[in-house]
Amino acid sequence: MSTTVNGIRVVTLTGEIDHHTGDTLRQALDASHTPRPRVVVDLHQVTFMDSSGINIFIAAHHTLSEADGWLRLAAPGESVMRTLNIVGVDTLIDCRETLRQALGD
């Protein structure tokens, strides 16, 4: 599901992020027609994420940054945050504890 809050696209994900759901996620993060795109991905309902999700988030981060925008990840659960920590994505992409924090400056 995707909504817009104060000009920021909020993509809310549920369930698992893996090679089966990767194309859907990639399309949801596509902001190629938006000037200075800002995207927050709400992960609070995600139960699992594999390397497919990591790679998609890294690619989206680079694409959005090149367009003078940004990507933030919000409210990852414990297992998803552990995955982000292990591979260092949390040092590349801004991760916030809550959606509210991710929508703020």
* Structure confidence by residue, pLDDT tens digits, 58-79: 999 999 999 999 999 999 999 9
Contact 78, 45 (CB under 8 A): no
pTM score of the predicted model: 0.94
What CA–CA distance (Å, rounded) separates 73 from 42? Answer: 6
Between 32 and 54, the more confident residue is 54
Contact 58, 23 (CB under 8 A): no
